[in-house]
Chain A
């Protein structure tokens, strides 16, 4: 009984039904891909699985962004940093696991041979351990977010000023990662991965496995964020968003709450980045581009701020549209994105999620 009460606290009945349906759809994709023959109408082609796997990673990011922006009112336009850092940690592991199968048949990663480096830099060494690399993919973004967030929040940098600083932050890191001297592949980044933990990345079973992991990751992250949102801490976050000084005088320290959410969301973005890189096979400094961080905010805006579901919807819809338009009308995509963002903000502030909940309330 107690467990049941806890579960209904976490998600209402309808929410659990929706969650179950979503889980079913997520898991049906790899099953249909591998069981049905290529010609059947139910068959999910490989390229679609790969695409959806990417979207799942973006959806994880969007949930984290929504927790930070929608619930806490902190708009970070630099979360691409944490996504990319998680990706780089995974990428470094994947680079080292290539071994001597690279173009130059050297133990060193190809780009180091190309740059005429004789030895692996010290910070690369522990990354041949899978466990270390995974922990680093979560902790490196977390730690950086903690330090950056501490400095920003204790100085009470808020609103648009915070957003601008995070833009500068991601731009600075982009410049850093573009340099060959930084030691992570310069502007080419890390690529030509062969295997992950012994599984060949070219195998379709590995691809389906990574897709499934991303789906599980999204569902776990969603429930985790949901747990935060329905707790008293979640109500404190909204209180800080709506009336920060009142929350201060009510005895809450907004700095530590914001820092917690900022760091937590960075760790989740690191996870998403680590899941993303083996699926797309490359990580390079373009992930640090200010525009990619802004896109993350647009997913949330389109999907609907302040409802975690909105983040998931927005990530799928915007990226789905992007995939379609960049093929059909490549020049128009950025304009469409801009118009979409402005239109949603002006006419549709609740986003897609509000459409769904309104419909639910009507029936």
Chain B
């Protein structure tokens, strides 16, 4: 290292490989940055436009996961993973246990901070790994957990009310009233998820499948740009699975939907593009048929049963 790099103490040294997303410190954009941040997180970082262009040239990309790695106590959960999702796409992510599917979602939604790499929405270009969960949610990335997590004590209607976009600060909520438009929006979502009859039922009393739909409805009410859905049909009956497939397919096109799933039948019924994860890396990407014919995939995941 030469002496002049030591002199410029505030500049980051350019030792990282050129693939890693270069980030620079910059004050938060004024559009969404007006509210005071109640956290001790570092300042939000911006991704350089050059890097964005290099990753997304020639496609209508929306969400980029750029060269992300994370290890837990030496176990490499995700290794140099790059994933680009297009606007309005329905993407399925499959992979054996421990492939890093859930960790990947944790990183995108801010629950886990990666050791290196960045995640950003094209256009917004803020490095999401430097933001808190609620700030990422504000930017339109929503997540459905594996276990249905709805607010059990509230009614279906109230669950959706809480999910609606808008100001979410304490004092805004103290004086908030639902407008006619918001009432209509809730009814619209209720119609979409097929729970209009259960509008005033306590969410804790719904069946497993209904809770899953309610949670998807809550994500829809947030009017998200990206919807992350973790194993939506686990534990569902056949009919419920079919209905869920219908629901998710109808959402794609308007929003980017990412489905993480084990159920191959289900993936085949909805997927256009499938990404296969294995040991924290992308093993294959393409249509379901192409992926299933891929010898590497057969070896690690499908266990030699391409016509399963």
One of B40, B154, B170, B218 near A256 (C-beta < 8 A)? B170
Question: Can you show 13 pairs from A to B with CB atoms below 8 A apart?
Answer: A232-B162, A239-B151, A242-B153, A245-B111, A246-B151, A247-B151, A249-B137, A251-B137, A251-B165, A252-B162, A253-B168, A257-B170, A259-B38
CB proximity of B63 to chain A, nearest CB, Å: 16
Measured in the bound complex, the distance between the Cα atoms of B40 and A260 in whole Å is 18
CB proximity of A296 to chain B, nearest CB, Å: 24
CB proximity of A140 to chain B, nearest CB, Å: 22
5 A-B pairs besides A251-B165, A252-B134 with CB distance below 8 A are A233-B173, A249-B137, A252-B162, A252-B168, A253-B169
A179 at the interface (CB under 8 A from B): no
B138 at the interface (CB under 8 A from A): yes
Q: Which of B52-60, B141-149, B241-249, B270-278 contacts A (4 or more CB under 8 A)?
A: B141-149
CB proximity of A41 to chain B, nearest CB, Å: 47
Contact B150 A238 (CB under 8 A): no
Using a CB-CB cutoff of 8 Å, which residues 206-247 of chain A contact chain B? 227-228, 231-233, 235-236, 238-239, 242-243, 245-247
Contact B39 A255 (CB under 8 A): yes
- Chain A residues near B107: list those with CB within 8 A: none
Contact A236 B153 (CB under 8 A): no
One of A228, A243, A259 near B150 (C-beta < 8 A)? A243
Report B156-191 CB contacts with A as 1/0, cut-off 8 Å.
001001110100111001111000000000000000
- Chain B residues near A246: list those with CB within 8 A: 145, 149-151
B109 at the interface (CB under 8 A from A): yes
Contact B170 A235 (CB under 8 A): no
Q: Which residues of A contact B (CB under 8 A)?
A: 150, 154, 227-228, 231-233, 235-236, 238-239, 242-243, 245-253, 255-257, 259-260
B118 at the interface (CB under 8 A from A): no
Contact B143 A235 (CB under 8 A): no
B133 at the interface (CB under 8 A from A): yes
Contact B152 A242 (CB under 8 A): yes
Contact A248 B134 (CB under 8 A): yes
| A249-B143, A253-B38 known; A232+B170 contact, CB < 8 A | no
- Chain B residues near A248: list those with CB within 8 A: 133-134, 137
Contact B154 A235 (CB under 8 A): yes
Contact B38 A255 (CB under 8 A): yes
B126 at the interface (CB under 8 A from A): no
Measured in the bound complex, the distance between the Cα atoms of B174 and A34 in whole Å is 42
CB proximity of A261 to chain B, nearest CB, Å: 9
Measured in the bound complex, the distance between the Cα atoms of B106 and A248 in whole Å is 13
Contact B173 A236 (CB under 8 A): yes
Using a CB-CB cutoff of 8 Å, which residues 84-112 of chain B contact chain A? 109, 111
Contact B170 A260 (CB under 8 A): yes
Closest residue of A by beta carbon distance from B155: A235
Contact B153 A154 (CB under 8 A): no
CB proximity of B28 to chain A, nearest CB, Å: 15
Measured in the bound complex, the distance between the Cα atoms of B170 and A251 in whole Å is 12
Contact A250 B162 (CB under 8 A): yes
B65 at the interface (CB under 8 A from A): no
3 nearest A-B residue pairs (beta carbon): A233-B173, A232-B176, A251-B137
CB proximity of B113 to chain A, nearest CB, Å: 14
B222 at the interface (CB under 8 A from A): yes
B70 at the interface (CB under 8 A from A): no
Contact B134 A253 (CB under 8 A): yes
Contact A251 B175 (CB under 8 A): no
Closest residue of B by beta carbon distance from A228: B174
- Chain A residues near B111: list those with CB within 8 A: 245
Contact B142 A233 (CB under 8 A): no
CB proximity of B186 to chain A, nearest CB, Å: 13
Contact A239 B39 (CB under 8 A): no
B229 at the interface (CB under 8 A from A): no
- Chain B residues near A245: list those with CB within 8 A: 111, 145, 149
CB proximity of B191 to chain A, nearest CB, Å: 21
| A231-B176, A243-B151, A245-B149 known; A250+B137 contact, CB < 8 A | yes
Contact A233 B154 (CB under 8 A): no
CB proximity of B171 to chain A, nearest CB, Å: 8
Closest residue of B by beta carbon distance from A246: B149
Measured in the bound complex, the distance between the Cα atoms of B152 and A243 in whole Å is 8
Contact B162 A249 (CB under 8 A): no
B267 at the interface (CB under 8 A from A): no
CB proximity of A305 to chain B, nearest CB, Å: 12
- Chain A residues near B175: list those with CB within 8 A: 231
Measured in the bound complex, the distance between the Cα atoms of B137 and A250 in whole Å is 7
CB proximity of B244 to chain A, nearest CB, Å: 19
- Chain B residues near A253: list those with CB within 8 A: 38, 132, 134, 168-169
